[in-house]
Structure 1
Amino acid sequence: MALTVPAASASGGRVLPLALLKPAVPAAPAIHEQPATWSFTNIETGETLAVTCMPGCESEHQAGTAQIPVDVWCQTYRGGDVALPVDRTGKPEETRLLAASINALPFDAQMSRRLPHVNVEVIDGAWLTGLDPDALEDVIDTLEERVAALREAHAELLRVRAAHKATR
Protein backbone atom coordinates (compact mmCIF):
# COMPACT_ATOMS: atom_id res chain seq x y z
CA MET A 1 0.00 0.00 0.00
CA ALA A 2 1.28 3.50 -0.78
CA LEU A 3 0.14 6.94 0.21
CA THR A 4 0.58 10.07 -1.88
CA VAL A 5 1.78 12.89 0.30
CA PRO A 6 0.59 16.39 -0.77
CA ALA A 7 3.22 18.51 -2.54
CA ALA A 8 3.23 21.04 0.30
CA SER A 9 4.64 18.41 2.62
CA ALA A 10 8.27 17.53 3.23
CA SER A 11 8.13 14.70 0.68
CA GLY A 12 7.37 17.03 -2.22
CA GLY A 13 4.31 15.03 -3.33
CA ARG A 14 6.13 11.73 -3.76
CA VAL A 15 4.42 8.39 -3.29
CA LEU A 16 5.75 6.84 -0.10
CA PRO A 17 5.26 3.25 0.99
CA LEU A 18 2.98 3.15 4.03
CA ALA A 19 5.72 1.31 5.96
CA LEU A 20 7.89 4.45 5.80
CA LEU A 21 5.09 6.46 7.39
CA LYS A 22 4.47 3.90 10.11
CA PRO A 23 5.58 5.22 13.48
CA ALA A 24 8.20 3.27 15.36
CA VAL A 25 6.79 0.83 17.89
CA PRO A 26 7.20 2.43 21.31
CA ALA A 27 9.15 0.42 23.83
CA ALA A 28 7.05 -1.19 26.54
CA PRO A 29 7.58 0.40 29.93
CA ALA A 30 10.07 -1.46 32.06
CA ILE A 31 8.63 -3.53 34.87
CA HIS A 32 10.94 -3.21 37.85
CA GLU A 33 9.01 -4.80 40.66
CA GLN A 34 8.36 -8.43 41.32
CA PRO A 35 4.75 -9.50 40.80
CA ALA A 36 2.74 -9.54 44.01
CA THR A 37 1.88 -12.91 45.52
CA TRP A 38 -1.06 -13.16 47.89
CA SER A 39 -3.83 -15.54 48.88
CA PHE A 40 -7.50 -15.55 49.72
CA THR A 41 -10.03 -17.99 51.07
CA ASN A 42 -12.71 -19.12 48.63
CA ILE A 43 -15.96 -18.60 50.58
CA GLU A 44 -17.69 -21.30 48.52
CA THR A 45 -15.17 -24.07 49.29
CA GLY A 46 -13.13 -22.83 52.26
CA GLU A 47 -9.98 -23.50 50.22
CA THR A 48 -7.08 -21.06 50.45
CA LEU A 49 -5.94 -20.10 46.95
CA ALA A 50 -2.58 -18.54 46.14
CA VAL A 51 -2.35 -15.88 43.44
CA THR A 52 0.68 -14.39 41.72
CA CYS A 53 -0.16 -11.24 39.79
CA MET A 54 1.00 -10.71 36.22
CA PRO A 55 4.05 -8.44 35.95
CA GLY A 56 3.03 -4.77 36.04
CA CYS A 57 -0.38 -5.44 37.62
CA GLU A 58 -1.97 -2.20 38.83
CA SER A 59 -5.01 -3.78 40.51
CA GLU A 60 -5.21 -3.22 44.23
CA HIS A 61 -5.59 -6.69 45.67
CA GLN A 62 -6.46 -5.80 49.24
CA ALA A 63 -7.14 -8.42 51.87
CA GLY A 64 -10.78 -9.42 51.84
CA THR A 65 -11.64 -8.09 48.36
CA ALA A 66 -11.55 -11.50 46.68
CA GLN A 67 -14.04 -14.01 48.04
CA ILE A 68 -14.44 -16.32 45.05
CA PRO A 69 -11.99 -17.06 42.21
CA VAL A 70 -13.87 -14.99 39.61
CA ASP A 71 -13.27 -11.90 41.79
CA VAL A 72 -9.54 -12.09 40.98
CA TRP A 73 -8.15 -10.22 37.99
CA CYS A 74 -4.96 -8.38 37.17
CA GLN A 75 -5.00 -5.28 35.02
CA THR A 76 -2.78 -2.52 33.76
CA TYR A 77 -3.91 0.44 31.66
CA ARG A 78 -2.03 1.65 28.60
CA GLY A 79 -2.18 4.96 26.80
CA GLY A 80 -4.49 6.92 29.06
CA ASP A 81 -7.86 8.30 28.02
CA VAL A 82 -8.42 10.03 24.69
CA ALA A 83 -11.76 11.57 23.78
CA LEU A 84 -13.26 13.21 20.69
CA PRO A 85 -16.58 15.06 20.32
CA VAL A 86 -18.83 12.34 18.87
CA ASP A 87 -22.34 13.29 17.74
CA ARG A 88 -24.76 10.45 18.45
CA THR A 89 -27.82 12.48 19.39
CA GLY A 90 -27.52 15.79 17.54
CA LYS A 91 -25.26 17.21 20.24
CA PRO A 92 -21.53 16.33 20.21
CA GLU A 93 -20.30 14.83 23.46
CA GLU A 94 -16.76 14.00 24.48
CA THR A 95 -16.49 10.23 23.99
CA ARG A 96 -13.61 8.03 25.08
CA LEU A 97 -12.03 5.90 22.37
CA LEU A 98 -9.15 3.51 21.78
CA ALA A 99 -8.30 2.82 25.40
CA ALA A 100 -6.44 -0.40 26.14
CA SER A 101 -5.79 -2.52 29.18
CA ILE A 102 -3.68 -5.63 29.65
CA ASN A 103 -5.54 -8.18 31.74
CA ALA A 104 -5.14 -11.64 33.22
CA LEU A 105 -7.90 -13.54 34.98
CA PRO A 106 -6.07 -16.41 36.72
CA PHE A 107 -9.19 -18.45 37.52
CA ASP A 108 -11.23 -17.78 34.36
CA ALA A 109 -13.03 -20.75 32.78
CA GLN A 110 -11.44 -19.79 29.42
CA MET A 111 -7.81 -20.84 29.55
CA SER A 112 -6.75 -18.11 27.09
CA ARG A 113 -8.04 -15.40 29.47
CA ARG A 114 -5.76 -16.72 32.22
CA LEU A 115 -2.80 -15.50 30.17
CA PRO A 116 -2.15 -11.77 29.80
CA HIS A 117 -4.33 -10.42 26.97
CA VAL A 118 -5.58 -7.01 25.84
CA ASN A 119 -9.03 -5.46 25.89
CA VAL A 120 -9.46 -2.43 23.61
CA GLU A 121 -12.28 0.02 24.16
CA VAL A 122 -12.99 1.04 20.58
CA ILE A 123 -15.46 3.72 21.63
CA ASP A 124 -17.08 4.46 24.97
CA GLY A 125 -18.41 1.11 26.21
CA ALA A 126 -17.77 -0.93 23.03
CA TRP A 127 -14.90 -3.37 23.53
CA LEU A 128 -12.71 -5.82 21.64
CA THR A 129 -11.82 -8.33 24.34
CA GLY A 130 -9.42 -11.16 24.99
CA LEU A 131 -6.93 -10.18 22.28
CA ASP A 132 -3.70 -12.17 22.12
CA PRO A 133 -0.62 -10.55 20.52
CA ASP A 134 -1.57 -11.69 16.98
CA ALA A 135 -5.15 -10.46 17.28
CA LEU A 136 -3.96 -7.12 18.68
CA GLU A 137 -1.55 -6.78 15.75
CA ASP A 138 -4.51 -7.38 13.38
CA VAL A 139 -6.45 -4.60 15.13
CA ILE A 140 -3.46 -2.25 14.88
CA ASP A 141 -3.02 -3.05 11.16
CA THR A 142 -6.72 -2.39 10.53
CA LEU A 143 -6.57 0.93 12.37
CA GLU A 144 -3.45 1.92 10.43
CA GLU A 145 -5.29 1.24 7.17
CA ARG A 146 -8.15 3.44 8.35
CA VAL A 147 -5.73 6.21 9.37
CA ALA A 148 -4.16 6.03 5.90
CA ALA A 149 -7.63 6.41 4.36
CA LEU A 150 -8.31 9.39 6.64
CA ARG A 151 -5.01 10.96 5.55
CA GLU A 152 -6.05 10.51 1.91
CA ALA A 153 -9.43 12.12 2.70
CA HIS A 154 -7.60 14.98 4.42
CA ALA A 155 -5.39 15.58 1.37
CA GLU A 156 -8.45 15.49 -0.91
CA LEU A 157 -10.31 17.88 1.40
CA LEU A 158 -7.42 20.35 1.22
CA ARG A 159 -7.38 20.09 -2.60
CA VAL A 160 -11.16 20.51 -2.89
CA ARG A 161 -11.23 23.47 -0.49
CA ALA A 162 -8.42 25.19 -2.38
CA ALA A 163 -10.26 24.63 -5.68
CA HIS A 164 -13.51 25.85 -4.15
CA LYS A 165 -11.83 28.98 -2.77
CA ALA A 166 -10.27 29.69 -6.20
CA THR A 167 -13.74 29.73 -7.84
CA ARG A 168 -15.18 32.34 -5.46
Structure 2
Amino acid sequence: MNRVTATATAPSAIAEQSISATFHVEVMNDLESGQPMLIGSSDPSQGDLQVVTPDQVIAKAAEQYRIIAKAVRLALDYEAATKQAPTGPRRSWLIADNKTGMPLKGTCLEGCHGLHFEMTSGTADADDVVCINFDQANSTELPIGCGSTDGQDWATLSVLIKSYPVHPDEEKRIPHAAVEVTEDHYIEDLDDDGLAIVIDKLQQRVDGMRIRHAELVRVRHEHLGRQA
Protein backbone atom coordinates (compact mmCIF):
# COMPACT_ATOMS: atom_id res chain seq x y z
CA MET A 1 0.00 0.00 0.00
CA ASN A 2 1.28 3.46 -0.92
CA ARG A 3 -0.31 6.30 0.99
CA VAL A 4 0.33 10.04 0.72
CA THR A 5 -1.32 12.51 3.04
CA ALA A 6 -0.47 16.19 3.12
CA THR A 7 -2.06 19.05 5.01
CA ALA A 8 -0.74 22.59 4.87
CA THR A 9 -1.60 25.65 6.91
CA ALA A 10 0.19 28.83 6.02
CA PRO A 11 -0.50 32.53 5.58
CA SER A 12 -3.23 33.66 3.16
CA ALA A 13 -0.95 32.82 0.20
CA ILE A 14 -1.98 29.16 0.45
CA ALA A 15 -5.30 27.65 1.60
CA GLU A 16 -5.79 24.70 3.93
CA GLN A 17 -6.18 21.48 1.98
CA SER A 18 -5.58 17.75 2.21
CA ILE A 19 -4.56 15.17 -0.39
CA SER A 20 -4.65 11.39 0.14
CA ALA A 21 -3.90 8.42 -2.09
CA THR A 22 -4.38 4.72 -1.34
CA PHE A 23 -3.32 1.93 -3.69
CA HIS A 24 -3.46 -1.73 -2.60
CA VAL A 25 -2.73 -4.70 -4.86
CA GLU A 26 -2.21 -8.34 -3.93
CA VAL A 27 -2.35 -11.85 -5.33
CA MET A 28 -4.25 -14.40 -3.25
CA ASN A 29 -5.50 -17.92 -3.86
CA ASP A 30 -9.20 -18.67 -4.17
CA LEU A 31 -10.30 -20.77 -1.18
CA GLU A 32 -12.39 -23.11 -3.33
CA SER A 33 -10.42 -23.49 -6.57
CA GLY A 34 -6.94 -22.70 -5.30
CA GLN A 35 -6.41 -20.48 -8.35
CA PRO A 36 -4.51 -17.21 -7.86
CA MET A 37 -6.52 -14.00 -8.10
CA LEU A 38 -5.40 -10.41 -8.53
CA ILE A 39 -7.04 -8.25 -5.86
CA GLY A 40 -7.10 -4.48 -5.71
CA SER A 41 -8.43 -1.64 -3.58
CA SER A 42 -8.20 2.14 -3.46
CA ASP A 43 -10.11 2.57 -0.19
CA PRO A 44 -8.13 3.11 3.07
CA SER A 45 -10.34 0.54 4.82
CA GLN A 46 -10.24 -1.75 1.75
CA GLY A 47 -14.02 -1.67 1.61
CA ASP A 48 -13.87 -1.91 -2.19
CA LEU A 49 -11.49 -4.90 -2.26
CA GLN A 50 -12.30 -6.87 -5.42
CA VAL A 51 -10.89 -9.02 -8.19
CA VAL A 52 -9.24 -6.82 -10.84
CA THR A 53 -7.43 -7.22 -14.13
CA PRO A 54 -3.84 -6.08 -14.77
CA ASP A 55 -5.19 -3.32 -17.03
CA GLN A 56 -7.38 -2.07 -14.21
CA VAL A 57 -4.38 -2.02 -11.87
CA ILE A 58 -2.31 -0.06 -14.41
CA ALA A 59 -5.14 2.45 -14.91
CA LYS A 60 -5.61 2.85 -11.16
CA ALA A 61 -1.85 3.28 -10.69
CA ALA A 62 -1.83 6.12 -13.24
CA GLU A 63 -4.69 7.78 -11.35
CA GLN A 64 -2.82 7.45 -8.04
CA TYR A 65 0.37 8.87 -9.58
CA ARG A 66 -1.61 11.97 -10.54
CA ILE A 67 -2.85 12.34 -6.95
CA ILE A 68 0.67 11.88 -5.58
CA ALA A 69 1.94 14.50 -8.04
CA LYS A 70 -0.68 16.91 -6.65
CA ALA A 71 0.58 16.17 -3.13
CA VAL A 72 4.15 16.94 -4.23
CA ARG A 73 2.98 20.18 -5.82
CA LEU A 74 1.13 21.10 -2.61
CA ALA A 75 4.37 20.61 -0.66
CA LEU A 76 6.27 22.79 -3.14
CA ASP A 77 3.55 25.46 -3.04
CA TYR A 78 3.77 25.43 0.75
CA GLU A 79 7.55 25.82 0.57
CA ALA A 80 7.22 28.75 -1.82
CA ALA A 81 4.52 30.41 0.31
CA THR A 82 6.45 30.13 3.58
CA LYS A 83 10.02 30.54 2.36
CA GLN A 84 11.75 33.62 3.67
CA ALA A 85 13.25 35.80 0.98
CA PRO A 86 17.01 36.45 1.32
CA THR A 87 17.71 39.72 3.09
CA GLY A 88 21.41 40.13 2.29
CA PRO A 89 22.65 43.08 0.23
CA ARG A 90 22.71 42.77 -3.55
CA ARG A 91 25.43 44.15 -5.78
CA SER A 92 24.86 47.58 -7.28
CA TRP A 93 27.05 49.39 -9.75
CA LEU A 94 27.35 52.48 -11.89
CA ILE A 95 28.89 52.16 -15.36
CA ALA A 96 28.81 54.07 -18.66
CA ASP A 97 26.86 53.00 -21.73
CA ASN A 98 29.30 52.26 -24.58
CA LYS A 99 26.91 53.65 -27.17
CA THR A 100 25.69 56.84 -25.49
CA GLY A 101 28.17 57.51 -22.70
CA MET A 102 25.25 57.91 -20.34
CA PRO A 103 25.52 56.46 -16.81
CA LEU A 104 23.86 53.10 -16.19
CA LYS A 105 22.96 52.29 -12.60
CA GLY A 106 22.11 48.65 -11.99
CA THR A 107 21.22 46.36 -9.11
CA CYS A 108 21.75 42.60 -9.30
CA LEU A 109 18.95 40.12 -9.58
CA GLU A 110 18.36 38.23 -6.34
CA GLY A 111 20.68 35.20 -6.28
CA CYS A 112 22.65 36.42 -9.29
CA HIS A 113 25.64 34.24 -10.27
CA GLY A 114 26.82 36.56 -13.05
CA LEU A 115 30.46 37.68 -13.08
CA HIS A 116 29.63 41.19 -14.33
CA PHE A 117 32.98 42.01 -15.90
CA GLU A 118 31.54 45.40 -16.83
CA MET A 119 31.90 46.38 -13.17
CA THR A 120 35.69 46.19 -13.68
CA SER A 121 35.84 47.80 -17.12
CA GLY A 122 33.35 50.50 -16.18
CA THR A 123 31.58 50.40 -19.54
CA ALA A 124 29.18 48.09 -21.40
CA ASP A 125 26.35 48.03 -23.89
CA ALA A 126 23.13 48.40 -21.92
CA ASP A 127 21.55 45.42 -23.69
CA ASP A 128 24.50 43.13 -22.88
CA VAL A 129 24.43 43.46 -19.08
CA VAL A 130 22.67 40.35 -17.76
CA CYS A 131 22.03 38.81 -14.35
CA ILE A 132 21.65 35.03 -14.24
CA ASN A 133 20.42 32.88 -11.37
CA PHE A 134 21.50 29.34 -12.24
CA ASP A 135 19.43 26.28 -11.38
CA GLN A 136 22.21 24.83 -9.23
CA ALA A 137 20.12 23.19 -6.52
CA ASN A 138 17.79 21.36 -8.91
CA SER A 139 19.75 20.04 -11.87
CA THR A 140 19.61 16.71 -13.66
CA GLU A 141 22.02 15.22 -16.17
CA LEU A 142 21.00 12.40 -18.52
CA PRO A 143 23.17 10.36 -20.94
CA ILE A 144 21.82 11.77 -24.21
CA GLY A 145 23.24 10.73 -27.57
CA CYS A 146 22.71 11.97 -31.12
CA GLY A 147 22.51 9.55 -34.05
CA SER A 148 25.25 6.92 -33.73
CA THR A 149 27.22 8.80 -31.06
CA ASP A 150 27.44 7.47 -27.53
CA GLY A 151 25.38 9.20 -24.90
CA GLN A 152 27.04 12.00 -22.95
CA ASP A 153 25.75 13.61 -19.78
CA TRP A 154 23.73 16.70 -20.62
CA ALA A 155 21.96 19.06 -18.27
CA THR A 156 18.26 18.54 -19.00
CA LEU A 157 15.38 20.98 -18.47
CA SER A 158 17.36 23.33 -16.28
CA VAL A 159 15.65 26.64 -15.59
CA LEU A 160 17.55 29.91 -15.46
CA ILE A 161 16.08 33.08 -14.01
CA LYS A 162 17.45 36.08 -15.91
CA SER A 163 17.23 39.85 -15.89
CA TYR A 164 18.80 42.60 -17.99
CA PRO A 165 18.90 45.29 -15.26
CA VAL A 166 19.74 48.29 -17.47
CA HIS A 167 18.25 47.16 -20.78
CA PRO A 168 16.48 49.87 -22.82
CA ASP A 169 13.43 47.59 -23.03
CA GLU A 170 11.69 47.69 -19.63
CA GLU A 171 10.27 44.19 -20.20
CA LYS A 172 13.82 42.79 -20.33
CA ARG A 173 14.53 44.21 -16.89
CA ILE A 174 11.76 42.17 -15.28
CA PRO A 175 13.05 38.74 -14.13
CA HIS A 176 12.11 35.98 -16.57
CA ALA A 177 12.85 32.30 -17.11
CA ALA A 178 14.91 30.48 -19.72
CA VAL A 179 14.52 26.68 -20.03
CA GLU A 180 17.57 24.76 -21.23
CA VAL A 181 16.34 22.09 -23.69
CA THR A 182 18.44 19.67 -25.77
CA GLU A 183 17.28 19.27 -29.36
CA ASP A 184 17.54 16.21 -31.63
CA HIS A 185 19.15 14.17 -28.88
CA TYR A 186 17.74 10.86 -27.67
CA ILE A 187 18.17 8.48 -24.75
CA GLU A 188 18.20 5.14 -26.51
CA ASP A 189 18.31 1.40 -25.81
CA LEU A 190 16.21 1.66 -22.64
CA ASP A 191 14.77 -1.45 -21.05
CA ASP A 192 11.76 -1.18 -18.74
CA ASP A 193 13.93 -0.40 -15.71
CA GLY A 194 15.93 2.15 -17.70
CA LEU A 195 12.75 3.89 -18.86
CA ALA A 196 11.49 3.96 -15.27
CA ILE A 197 14.70 5.70 -14.21
CA VAL A 198 14.30 8.32 -16.94
CA ILE A 199 10.67 8.88 -15.92
CA ASP A 200 11.75 9.38 -12.30
CA LYS A 201 14.46 11.84 -13.31
CA LEU A 202 12.08 13.80 -15.54
CA GLN A 203 9.56 13.90 -12.68
CA GLN A 204 12.33 15.31 -10.47
CA ARG A 205 12.97 17.95 -13.12
CA VAL A 206 9.27 18.84 -13.29
CA ASP A 207 9.21 19.17 -9.50
CA GLY A 208 12.37 21.28 -9.69
CA MET A 209 10.81 23.44 -12.40
CA ARG A 210 7.79 24.04 -10.15
CA ILE A 211 10.17 25.31 -7.45
CA ARG A 212 11.80 27.62 -9.99
CA HIS A 213 8.34 28.82 -11.08
CA ALA A 214 7.54 29.77 -7.50
CA GLU A 215 10.88 31.58 -7.24
CA LEU A 216 10.21 33.42 -10.51
CA VAL A 217 6.79 34.57 -9.24
CA ARG A 218 8.42 35.87 -6.06
CA VAL A 219 11.35 37.70 -7.68
CA ARG A 220 9.09 39.28 -10.33
CA HIS A 221 6.75 40.47 -7.59
CA GLU A 222 9.69 41.86 -5.62
CA HIS A 223 11.12 43.55 -8.73
CA LEU A 224 7.81 45.17 -9.70
CA GLY A 225 7.30 46.24 -6.08
CA ARG A 226 10.66 48.03 -6.07
CA GLN A 227 9.85 49.71 -9.36
CA ALA A 228 6.53 50.92 -7.98
Q: Structure 1 residue 50: deviation in Å?
A: 0.8
One-letter amino acid matched to 2:88: E
Greater share of helix residues, 1 or 2? 2
Kept in 2, the 8 Å contact 1:97–1:121? The answer is: yes
Task: Identify the match of residue 107 of structure 1 among 166, 171, 189.
Answer: 166
What's 1:47 paired with?
102
Distance 2:184 2:173 in 1: 23
Task: Identify the match of residue 84 of structure 1 among 113, 117, 142.
Answer: 142
Kept in 1, the 8 Å contact 2:105–2:166? The answer is: no
Q: Tell me the alpha carbon deviations over residues 14-55 of structure 1, each in whole angstroms, 9 at most, x when there is no partner.
A: 343724333121546742312221111112222111111222
The answer as to 2:201 corresponding to 1:121 is no
What's 1:153 paired with?
none
Kept in 1, the 8 Å contact 2:98–2:125? The answer is: yes
Moved more, 74-83 or 23-32: 23-32
Kept in 2, the 8 Å contact 1:42–1:68? The answer is: yes
Indicate the SS of the match to 1:63: helix
What is the aligned-residue identity percentage?
A: 25
Kept in 2, the 8 Å contact 1:104–1:113? The answer is: yes
TM (norm. structure 2) is: 0.44
Indicate the SS of the match to 1:7: strand
* Runs of 5+ unmatched residues, structure 1: 127-142, 148-168
One-letter amino acid matched to 1:7: V
Moved more, 17-26 or 37-46: 17-26
Distance 1:64 1:92 in 2: 41
Structure 1 residues 69 and 125: CA distance shift in structure 2, 3 A? farther
Kept in 2, the 8 Å contact 1:104–1:117? The answer is: yes
Q: Structure 1 residue 66: deviation in Å?
A: 4.5
Task: Identify the match of residue 21 of structure 1 among 57, 66, 69.
Answer: 69
TM (norm. structure 1) is: 0.57
One-letter amino acid matched to 1:89: G
* Runs of 5+ unmatched residues, structure 2: 1-20, 27-39, 43-59, 186-201, 207-228
Distance 2:153 2:107 in 1: 38
What does 1:1-168 correspond to in 2, within 5 Å?
7=25, 14=42, 15=60, 16=64, 18-22=66-70, 23=72, 24-25=75-76, 26-27=79-80, 30-61=85-116, 62-64=119-121, 66-78=123-135, 79-90=137-148, 91-123=150-182
Q: Structure 1 residue 80: deviation in Å?
A: 4.9
Distance 1:125 1:75 in 2: 26
